[in-house]
Structures are given as C-alpha cells and as structure tokens.
C-alpha cells in the first residue's frame, strides 16, 4: 500500500498528551471562573452562512475568512465568537432574559499568514453581558474583576488590566476640533508603547494635525499616575464636552467599584492611550498586559459597545465583553516556561500491574479506585516487568499498584509511590483513600507558575 | 441600515441556555468517566488537509465531506475523530507511550441531507486504546465496562450492550465456502432486526447464496439466549476454522472479564447478528441500544481493528474503540422527555438584589459566595422590584438575596428560597454555607432521567 506522510496543517495547534492536559486544565479553570460569576455556557455552530458572518462586511475579516460553498450554500467558518453571539441574541431574543450573560469557549478560524506563535485555528474564551435597551455601568466595573479572578485562578500574578473610556477620547478630540479625524489619531496614539512620543507626534503632524493640537494630544496621553491622579487630571477638562463628561463619570464609577470587587490597585490602571482597534466600542475599553512580557501585547481585551446586533435586529442591545485568545496565550506561556509542570499530566493516577494471569482481582481493585474518584488503568499487556514499569515512568503516572498471588491471598495491594520510590502493602480501601488524598493535594496547584 | 434576518443553518444544533446547560452536563459526565478509566484528553484540528482525511478514499465519506480550498491548500473538515487519531498516532508515534489511551470529544462534519434529528455538525465522544504491534484481549473486555459506566453515570439504565466478534463471522462464512461474499452477506444479515428472517433469506438467495447455505446462515444467526447458552452453541462449530476458533476464544474471554468489570448480565448480550458496517473491524464489535427505543439504532458503537493508521505508517497499530454520537443522542433524549429537568439550569445559584444605590456591599457578598463555590450574580440594573424578581423567575435562579440599608446595618442578608418561597435573614457566611450545601445536594441527580 502506498503511504501518505502524516502531517498537521501549519498554523494549527496540535498538542502532545501532557501539554494537552495542561491546556484542558486552563479551559476548566476559565469555565469555573465564568460560571461563578453567573455566566451561562453557550455553543454555536462553527459553520454559518457567509452572508450572516459578513453582514458587517469588509476589511481584514473578509480576506482572512474561510469561505466555501457546499451545494447551493455559501458558507464560512466563524472568525470570532462575537458575530455568532449577535446572531444568536437577535434570533433567540424572545427566549432570553436580559441582561443575558453568556460565556463561550470555542475555536475560531482566520486564514492569516502562518508565522510562529500565530494560529489559524484558535480558542477564544469570551464573556459578554447584553442588555435590552440599556445596561448599567456596574457591568463595566465587573468585567475587570472577572479578568482579575480568571487570571489569578490560572496562576498568573504579574499582569495589569488597563482601562480607558472611549467617550473620554471622543470628547477630548471633539474639544480639539478633531472629531472627524479621531479614529485615525487613536490608531496612531495606540503605537505610543512601540514607537515613543516623538514618533507619534511626527506621525500626527504628517496626518495634518496642527502643531498646537499635536502638543495638546501628547500632553493628554502623557497623563499618568495612580488612578486617583489620572482622574483628577481629567477633571481639568470637564465642562467642555458632554461626551467627555459622561465618559469621566463612567470611568470614575468603574474605578470606584473595582476596589469593592476586590481588584488590587496594582493590577489595574487607567490608561488614556488605549482605544482598541475595533470601531464598535463606545464606552469602557480593556486591555491586559503581562508585566514581564509587554511584547506579547494584550492577552485579554474587550469593552463596552452600544449595538451588538444592529445588522440583524432593530432592537438596541448594548453590551460589554472580553475575550481571551487562549491558544496564543498558552503558546506564549509554554515558550516562557510558565506552565506549572508540578501538576500531574499523566492519564491515570494509578497504574495497576496484575502479576497473575487472571485479571479479575486487578479489575476489581480498579473499580474500587474509580469509585473513590481515583483515575486507574489496569495494564493488561503481556510485557516484561521492566517494560511495564517504563510505561508508568514515561507517562509519569504517580502510583503503581502490584497485585500478585501473594497480595491477593493476603487481601492487600502493594502500592509504589513513583516520586519517592517508597512501597507499601495495604488494604485496597486504604490504598484508594491514601491515593485519593495525595492526588487532591497535588491538584491544588494552578496551571500557570510564573518564574521568580 | 438594511438588516439581515438572523438564522442558523439547518442541520446545525444551536441550543437555548437551559438545554445547553444540560448538554454541558453530559459532556462533563463523559469526560469524568473517560478520565477515571485512564484516558488522556486529546484535541486535533477541525480542518485537515483533504488528502490526509481522504487517504482511505471513496464512498459516502467523499460525498458528505466539507471540502474547500484556501489559497493553494485543498482542505476539509474532519468527518469523524478516527482518521485524525490515525494521523496523530502516526505523526507523533515516537512521543507516545503504548498502549495509547485517549479520549476525544469534538465536533465533526458531514453534509448529509438535512432531516429531523440528523445533524451536519455533531459531537462525537470517542475513546480508543492503541497498541504498538499488539494489544491484549482484556482491552476488548474493558470497553463495554466503560460504556456501561458512561451511560449509568449519565443516568441511562434501560440499555443493552451487544457484542459480537468479527472473527467468528469470518470463520463461519469460511466454513460455508462463502468467504468472498462474507461482506455482502453481513450487510444483509444486519437488516434482520428491521425486515425479519424471511426477507433476509430471500435477499440472500437473490445474492446467489445457495438454499442450503442460506438455511445454515439463518440457523446461525438464530442462536440466542444467555451469554452462556450462545457460547455453548458456538462450541458446536469449533474445529472447522482457525479464525472461528480464535474468535470464540476472544469472545469467551470478553464475556468472562465483563463480570469482573462489574457489568451486570442484563446489560450485555452476545449477538451474532451484529457486524458493524465499517470494514476495518477485525475482532470484537459493539453496539448499544436503548431497550425502549430500538428504533433509534445504536447509541454507542465500535470495535477492534488491526491497523489504525495503515494509510500513514507501516507500523502495525491495532486498537479498540467506541464512539458516542452525543448530539443525536441528546436530541433523542430531549424528544423522549428523558432530560432530567430537576437539575439546575440557571446561570447562577443566587441572584443578589442590592436595594441601595451603592453596590459595594452586594459586590462584597457576591465575592464571599463565589469563594464558597456558589455561582452568584449581582443584579445591577435600574429596574422595579417586580422586574428584578421576574428575571430570577424566568431564569429559574434557585435563591435571591436582598441587601437593603437595614440588612447592611445589621450585617445580614435576606435570602429567599425561590422553590419554597421561604425567606430568612442570616449572616453572609451562614448564607454562603447554606446555599452551597443545598446546591451540592441538588447537583446529585444525573443528566438523564428515564420515564417509569
């Protein structure tokens, strides 16, 4: 038979079992956090009608989308979880209770140019709160608290959530008589971290901004300090634009509630330079950076928008949401050596080695272990002892249990702790209990462990 | 703005929040069962090179597959999880320990003609054990025990796992001098349940089987009774075909171990009529039927194969596995009213209603609840009291907690049990504990509840 060389497409992450287990643990942690905050899980098709996905149309999206026909249907793979959410809420509007709080964890597809650390298939982990007609500002304060909880539960500590409000930016540019150019200017200002203030100024002048206005813009984005200090500096602009004033109110409310939500001051900063590229954010916007790895960019972004589903319904559906691009984050964490390898990645907690031809006792013991919540595998292959042990070694299975004639006769199992090498004969119930306790202890670590 | 009518493609399941929660619960239960048996989770891309997916080629697969080009690449969506597994094992052979035990739960795609209860995108929940060169028969006995555990954990009770061995069939047809026609004959015999023995016989004669052989075949497939009885009847054929004899040994071993694995006799039957359509099974084959709904067909099928990845590698990789088509099963359970609606489907366990303008106390209480593992939502919208309560009602949130000036001053929260209507003021710690305990109790039910 002619054989085909097996391969996985470039830009598609396919993990070996141990890292896959680490990835699953992160998914589990995120699911748990999102659920604790009262978000309901959602799942939508990966394939949608192309017309639906591209209702907004244009831009990068259209170039990157996986689009194809099947029969008469013009289909496409979702490129984010927001457009499917918009469709879902518009379609099922009458069956939902608002505010509608959902999380969705799923794969999305973008045919980007393949490059290291960039993926064409990747997991997004989204939460959104959608209001019917209106949505209270407290939701905008809750989002960073969820981000904070999500990342600390994962084990990440050295990160900062940056917050801004689009109304403040819009109002500020309005004051400068630059309302029409605001979008372009924000895109330029967004480069501040990368190219510095001088180059930002040069670009602004190139774009036709006056010397005076450019200076004013640079003064504005140079406002830094504690959240108190930034808010107080912003007070100086009050009274010149209604939009600005509203934005300042909102930002003040978000900052105020954040401490009630238990987010420490050092994990959170008002940052007037962030705007988020997407043009549909209208209020609070978020970015999250790893303090030791700013080069990675934002690992969790989002914001407040006024009209989730304007392409599908005339209902006004304001919302706020964030998204974690987990595939890329996982890749980066792996590269940085941040994945906690102290956590068990073995497929089983115990490997049972029957030393008799009849496997019945071994199988019965496995059943007992599983009832105690212990993951157990009976090794039934005909191999030499050494081969069996090296299987446990290779998979890093924490315990091996031997069951020979003697043990069966005495009603015990011999349990070897593969970490310490210690070996002890004990009653099966005792073994199940001991291992279950030890595994519960070992499971307490978090998926991420930053380096000191 | 012109609006587009939102829609979801036909043949694609998209659930409302409550059934989605029921679906997630089933996924969770299956993950837990598979993990307890020592299977490692796996995830592979939804998109693969078309050439890779179609290496085996031909037939229904090629017609149903979603295939398209992107740039120069000829791509396709996976139509099952077995071909990706074969590719995975061939590609990562050197990094895996054998037997390699993996579970994979993921969506697969088949462009079938849309019809009620048939899906073009659906979840498969697969387990497979892959050996390197060989694989012990005990694995074939373990599989039904996992099916049994998986279904009973889901809450299904009235089902039966049917087992046969392909070697027995092959050997039997060899004895009849019908080795070359065995495939066609098995396909005909497979219709026995639907069309009865007389029509099966007529079809066999049409296919050119002699009167005598047809009578012999009908006698063979009429062998029924307890597993003991069937095995003993099969003993009568021993000694006339090596393949048959080996199959009988294997079937005997599987039956013997099944009781050690704790599978009750009434959930398991040797059934000589089943063969499984796929031509790559070579040993034990499985089907699972719901006793009260035979019309649904098999809800969990699989078997033993000799060469998982022959299209990608010259390594001999025998394996055994099964697959549950969860989307269809979920659909059927819903239609039959078998989904346990006693289990909570609300996005939160508690809805906190702040009765003061400042939300700080409410938020602090929510944080306390979440630390106790209770899913809490603060309702921050400006609505009338009735509107807030109807939100809790609509979502069937089990508890509502009120926090007004008075409660805050007294250091208590007023907790209302939405099921009983009872209301009690208590300390926040007490409330967290009480609700956590009640929710743990309510979570004990299983996802499926068969009707009496």
Which phi-psi region, left, alpha or beta, contains residue B151 (left: φ > 0; alpha: ψ -120 to 50)?
alpha
Residues A308, B85: Cα–Cα separation, whole Å = 39
Together in a domain, B26 and B97: yes
Long-range contacts of A59-66 (CB under 8 A, 24+ apart): A63/A111, A64/A110, A64/A111, A64/A112, A65/A109, A65/A110, A65/A111, A66/A109, A66/A111, A66/B47, A66/B68, A66/B70, A66/B75
Per-residue HEC secondary structure of chain A comes to CCCCCCCCCCCECCCCHHHHHHHHHHHHHHHHHHHHCCCEECCCCCEEEHHHHCCCCCHHHHHHCCEEEECCEEEEECCCCHHHHHHHHHHCHHHCCCCEEEEEEEEEECCCCCCCCCCCEEEEEEEEEECCCCCCCHHHHHHHHHHHHHHHHHCCCCEEEEEEEHHHHHHHHHHCCCHHHHHHHHHHHCCHHHHHHHHHHHHHHHCCCCHHHHHHHHHHHCCCCCHHHHHHHHHCCCCCCHHHHHHHHHHHHHHHHHHHCCCCHHHEEECCCCCCCCCCEEEEEEEEEECCCHHHCCCCEEEEECCCCCCCCCCCCCEEEEEEEHHHHHHHHHHCCCECCCCCCCCCCEEEEECCCCCHHHHHHHHHHHHCCCCEEECCCCCCHHHHHHHHHHHCCCEEEEECHHHHHHCCEEEEECCCCCEEEECHHHHHHHHHHHHHHHCCCCCECCCC
Measured CA to CA, the distance from residue A17 to residue A340 in angstroms comes to 15
**Cβ separation of A66 and B68 shorter than 8 Å?**
yes
Cα separation, B204 vs B213, in Å, equals 9
Domain boundary among the residues B269, B304, B335 is at B335
Based on the domain organization, do B57 and B181 belong to the same domain?
yes
The CA distance from B292 to B290, in Å, is: 6
Q: In this structure, are B331 and B418 located in the same domain?
A: no
The residue among B267, B324, B321, B337 whose CA lies nearest residue B298 is B324
Cα Rg of chain A, angstroms: 27
Mutate to test the interface with A, among B70, B148, B372 (most CBs of A within 10 A): B70
- Among B280, B309, B335, which residue terminates a domain? B335
* A4 in a structural domain: no
The answer to whether residues A147 and A164 belong to one domain is no
Closest C-alpha among A373, A382, A354, A343 to residue A436:
A373
- Residue among B42, B45, B319 with most chain A CBs within 10 A, to mutate: B45
Q: Measuring CA to CA, which residue among B133, B163, B162 is closest to residue B316?
A: B133
Total-model pTM = 0.96
Whole-angstrom distance, CA of residue B131 vs CA of residue B99: 4
pLDDT of residue A262: 83
The CA distance from B88 to B82, in Å, is 10
Handedness of CA B59, B61, B64, B65 (dihedral sign): negative
Whether residue B304 is found in the same domain as residue B256: yes
Question: CA of A213 to nearest chain B CA: how many angstroms apart?
Answer: 35
Answer whether B47 sits within 8 Å of A121, measured CB to CB. Answer: yes
- Chain A residues whose CB is inside 8 A of the B92 CB are 16
> Testing the interface with B: which of A38, A146, A361 to mutate, by most B Cβ within 10 A?
A38
B402, two tokens: 């009120």
The 10 Å Cβ neighbour count of residue B422 is 9
pLDDT along chain A (452 residues), means of 10: 90 97 98 98 98 85 91 95 97 98 98 86 98 95 94 96 95 93 87 89 92 94 93 96 97 88 90 80 95 91 94 96 96 95 96 92 93 96 93 97 96 97 97 97 92 65
Separation of CA A147 from chain center: 9
Tell me, yes or no, whether A100 lies in a domain.
Answer: yes
The residue with tokens 């299904």 is B156
Rounded to a whole number of angstroms, the CA Rg of chain B reads 27
CATH code: domain of residue B117: 3.30.930.10
Same domain, residue pair B297 and B201: yes
Q: What is the pLDDT of residues B439-451, one digit of tens each?
A: 999 999 999 998 7
Q: Nearest C-alpha of chain A: how many angstroms from B3?
A: 5
| Peptide linkage before A99 cis (omega within 30 of 0) | yes
Q: Is the residue at A1 inside a domain?
A: no
Decide if A6 and B378 are in contact by the 8 Å CB cutoff: no
Evaluate whether residue B240 is within a structural domain.
Answer: yes
What pLDDT is stored for residue A112 in this prediction?
82
Pair A234, A140 in one domain = no
B329 assigned to some structural domain: yes
Report residue B81 as tokens. Answer: 């999880």
What pLDDT tens digit does each residue of chain B (452 aa) get? Answer: 678 999 999 999 999 999 999 999 999 999 999 999 999 999 999 999 999 999 987 677 888 999 999 989 999 999 999 999 999 999 999 999 999 999 999 999 999 887 888 899 999 999 999 999 999 999 999 999 999 999 999 999 999 999 999 999 999 999 999 988 888 888 888 888 889 999 999 999 999 999 999 999 999 999 999 999 999 999 999 999 999 999 999 999 999 888 778 899 899 999 998 887 667 899 999 999 999 998 888 999 999 999 999 999 999 999 999 999 999 999 999 999 999 999 999 999 999 999 998 888 999 999 999 999 999 999 999 899 999 999 999 999 999 999 999 999 999 999 999 999 999 999 999 999 999 999 999 999 999 998 75
pLDDT of residue B1: 67
CA distances from B54 to A253, B58, B63, B66 (A): 57, 8, 11, 11
Interface test with B, best of A22, A72, A363, A372 (most B CBs within 10 A): A363
Angle A241-A244-A228 from CA coordinates, rounded to 5°: 130
A182: containing domain:
159-291
With an 8 Å Cβ cutoff, are B43 and A348 in contact? Answer: no
Query: Domains in chain B: how many in total?
Result: 2
The whole-number pLDDT of residue B138 equals 92
CA dist., res. B40 & res. B127, Å (int) = 9
Put simply, the answer to whether A52 touches B92 (Cβ < 8 Å) is no
Q: Which residue, A347, A328, A326, A337, is CA-closest to A392?
A: A347
Residue B48: the pLDDT is 98
In the prediction, which pLDDT does A451 show? 73
Which chain B residues have a beta carbon less than 8 Å from that of A3? 310-314
Chain B hits for A39, Cβ within 8 Å: 347
Q: Say yes or no: B94 and B235 in one domain.
A: yes
User: Do B287 and B224 have their domain in common?
Assistant: yes
Residues ≥6 apart with Cβ < 8 Å to B211: B205
Provide CB contacts within 8 A for A264, sequence distance 6+: none
Query: Whole-angstrom Cα distance, residue A217 to residue B214?
Result: 91
> Shortest CA distance to B329 belongs to which of B451, B153, B151, B192?
B151
Q: Which of A3, A73, A107 sits opposite B312 (nearest CB)?
A: A3
**Chain B residues whose beta carbon lies within 8 Å of the beta carbon of residue A49:** 7, 9
B304 and B366 inside one domain: no
Handedness of CA A275, A281, A284, A287 (dihedral sign): negative
For chain B, what is the HEC assignment? CCCCCCCCCCCECCCCHHHHHHHHHHHHHHHHHHHHCCCEECCCCCEEEHHHHCCCCCHHHHHHCCEEEECCEEEEECCCCHHHHHHHHHHCHHHCCCCEEEEEEEEEECCCCCCCCCCCEEEEEEEEEECCCCCCCHHHHHHHHHHHHHHHHHCCCCEEEEEEEHHHHHHHHHHCCCHHHHHHHHHHHCCHHHHHHHHHHHHHHHCCCCHHHHHHHHHHHCCCCCHHHHHHHHHCCCCCCHHHHHHHHHHHHHHHHHHHCCCCHHHEEECCCCCCCCCCEEEEEEEEEECCCHHHCCCCEEEEECCCCCCCCCCCCCEEEEEEEHHHHHHHHHHCCCECCCCCCCCCCEEEEECCCCCHHHHHHHHHHHHCCCCEEECCCCCCHHHHHHHHHHHCCCEEEEECHHHHHHCCEEEEECCCCCEEEECHHHHHHHHHHHHHHHCCCCCECCCC
Q: Is residue A250 assigned to a domain?
A: yes
CATH number at residue B406: 3.40.50.800
Residue B3 domain-assigned (yes or no): no
Please indicate whether, in this complex, the C-beta atoms of A99 and B47 are within 8 angstroms of each other.
no
Sort out which chain A residues have CB atoms less than 8 A from B70's CB and list them: 66, 111
A142 to B7: CB separation less than 8 angstroms, yes or no: no
Whether residues B36 and A375 touch (CB distance < 8 A) is answered with: yes
The whole-number pLDDT of residue B277 equals: 65
Nearest CA in chain B to A256: B360
Six-digit token pair at B99? 């037997």
At which of A271, A291, A311 does a domain end? A291
Residue B77 lies in a domain: yes
Q: Cβ atoms within 10 A of the Cβ of B415, count?
A: 22
Question: A282 with A200, same domain?
Answer: yes
Q: Using the beta-carbon criterion (under 8 Å), do A377 and B37 form an inter-chain contact?
A: yes
Q: Are residues B403 and B325 in the same domain?
A: no
Select from B7, B88, B312 the Cβ nearest to the Cβ of A4: B312
Residues A217-248: tens digit of each pLDDT: 999 999 999 999 999 999 999 999 999 999 99
Q: What's the confidence (pLDDT) of residue A1?
A: 67
Please judge whether A97 and B395 are an interchain contact, meaning their C-beta atoms are less than 8 angstroms apart. yes
């Amino acid at each position: 038979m002619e054989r085909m060389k097996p391969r996985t497409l470039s830009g598609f992450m396919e993990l070996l079992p141990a890292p896959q287990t680490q990835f699953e643990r992160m998914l589990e942690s995120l699911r748990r956090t999102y659920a604790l905050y009262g978000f309901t899980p959602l799942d939508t098709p990966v394939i949608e009608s192309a017309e639906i996905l591209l209702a907004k149309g244009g831009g990068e999206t259209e170039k990157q989308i996986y689009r194809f026909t099947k029969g008469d249907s013009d289909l496409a793979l979702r490129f984010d979880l927001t457009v499917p959410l918009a469709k879902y809420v518009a379609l099922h509007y009458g069956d939902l209770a608002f505010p509608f709080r959902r999380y969705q964890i799923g794969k999305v597809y973008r045919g980007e140019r393949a490059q290291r650390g960039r993926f064409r298939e990747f997991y997004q982990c989204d939460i959104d709160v959608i209001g019917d007609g209106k949505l209270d500002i407290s939701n905008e304060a809750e989002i960073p608290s969820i981000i904070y909880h999500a990342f600390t539960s994962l084990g990440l500590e050295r990160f900062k959530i940056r917050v801004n409000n689009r109304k403040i930016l819009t109002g500020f540019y309005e004051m400068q008589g630059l309302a029409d150019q605001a979008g372009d200017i924000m895109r330029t200002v967004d480069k501040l971290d990368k190219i510095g203030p001088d180059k930002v100024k040069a670009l602004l002048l190139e774009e036709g901004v006056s010397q005076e206005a450019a200076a004013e813009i640079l003064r504005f984005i140079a406002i830094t300090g504690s959240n108190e200090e930034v808010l107080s500096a912003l007070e100086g602009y009050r009274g010149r634009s209604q939009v600005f004033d509203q934005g300042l109110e909102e930002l003040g409310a978000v900052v105020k509630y954040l401490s009630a939500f238990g987010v420490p001051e050092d994990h959170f900063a008002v940052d007037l330079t962030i705007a988020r590229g997407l043009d549909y954010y209208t209020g609070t916007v978020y970015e999250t950076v790893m303090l030791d790895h700013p080069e990675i960019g934002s690992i969790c972004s989002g914001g407040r928008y006024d009209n989730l589903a304007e392409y599908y319904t005339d209902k006004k559906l304001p919302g706020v949401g964030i998204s974690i691009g987990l595939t890329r984050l996982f890749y980066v964490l792996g590269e940085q050596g941040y994945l906690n390898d102290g956590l068990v990645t073995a497929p089983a907690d115990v490997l049972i080695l029957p030393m008799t031809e009849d496997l019945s006792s071994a199988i019965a013991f496995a059943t007992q272990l599983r009832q105690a919540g212990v993951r157990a595998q009976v090794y039934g292959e005909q191999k030499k002892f050494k081969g069996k042990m090296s299987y446990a070694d290779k998979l890093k299975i924490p315990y091996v249990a031997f069951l020979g004639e003697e043990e069966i006769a005495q009603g015990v199992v011999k349990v070897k702790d593969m970490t310490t090498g210690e070996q002890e004969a004990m009653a099966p119930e005792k073994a199940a209990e001991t291992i279950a306790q030890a595994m519960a202890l070992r499971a307490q670590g978090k998926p991420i462990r930053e380096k000191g």
